Structure 1
Amino acid sequence: MPDVCAAYGCSNRRCLKTRTRGITFHLFPKTRERRRKWEVALRRDSFAASDRTLLCSEHFRSEDFDRTGQTVRLRDGVVPSIFNFPAHLQKPVATRRTTTSRRVEGALPMDLMPDVEATGESSLSCKQQATDHLLYTLPACPKAIKAKLEEATAIVRKLQREKSNALKREKRVKNNMKALLRMREQIILLELNLPPAKSL
């Protein structure tokens, strides 16, 4: 039986047809913490991934992949983020309705007030987005704050790994250069100590 992508509404199967389309399949992470993040990203009730559960490459961004080797691999710490969820699984847009936020909205000049479109949804104008207050306020929901913190922590960990890898690569290159220079020195010394070539 062919392996099928575990994402909601995705019917990609591991077969020759998907391989020719360039779709790759990836097992859920082995570590419990990372596996849980993938399970949460799928938004499926009571879903628990097994050791053979797969996700296809269509649920990851292009920058999530490491294509330097012979096989396409996911970079460390990535979480699937591209899904086509139905309306009941979409994340609701959090709106802050606290006394403080109402006071701030009331104190904003008219050109900084949210624009209300015909759909009834409010979108922030460019000027409002640029105000310091909106750039630095924290979300009202603790879960949103935790999610922001986890996202920032993941970015920091990723950058630290990239820095560490870059330093290791730099050290390897320096060692290789030193070895090549030593070899060159030895070759030159050997050439200098050789007797002159006999003429025919």
Structure 2
Amino acid sequence: MPAHCAAYNCTVRRTIETRKRGITFHRFPRDYGRRRKWEVALRREGFAANDESVLCSNHFKPDEFDRAGQICRLRPDVIPSVFNFPAHLGKPKATRTTATSRQAMESLHTSQYAIKKEPQPNVDLDHNYSLPSSPSVLKARFSEAAARVLSLEKKKRNAQVRERRAKTTITALLKVLREKNLLTEDLCESLKIYSDSIWAGRSTSEVQTPKNRRTHR
């Protein structure tokens, strides 16, 4: 669908014919302050430009273009000023504004702009998750999450291996201590968690601790 000029009562559209006539089209500035100046210059009540809105070159003065390169560009900070307004859209009279009123108006415009840009929730979704619209971005996020899951699973397996090795080492050491009758009652109490695998049916009272050895003597 060809782009059309957003100016009041302007019917110029982006076609092969307009290109032959040398008419160019220019998007509204991304900067909010400059875009707002363009919107005010159009004098279209309730009009708010979007990222696709354009003005044709008929609404700019010849010296406001930079034609040095192959692409015709507007010079920085240019504001459209060539329009054919009807009488009721004549230039409004200048009104005296104070610093406070200007600040209030700027705050109001900023708030309105933020409201327009605020994304609307999708009521068709069970949860209000923010999903990217681009399939490539969504695929990249999925791959990143999958890699994260694999990394966590690997860390979990490594931790389990280390835990088994530690238990094996402790079991072997306790076996040596038991054979040499070097276990104390306090140590046995602290290591009850390993009693099933270490004593194999042998009660703690049967362990010959230093205290028991003195008793037997």
TM-score by length of 2: 0.44
TM-score by length of 1: 0.47
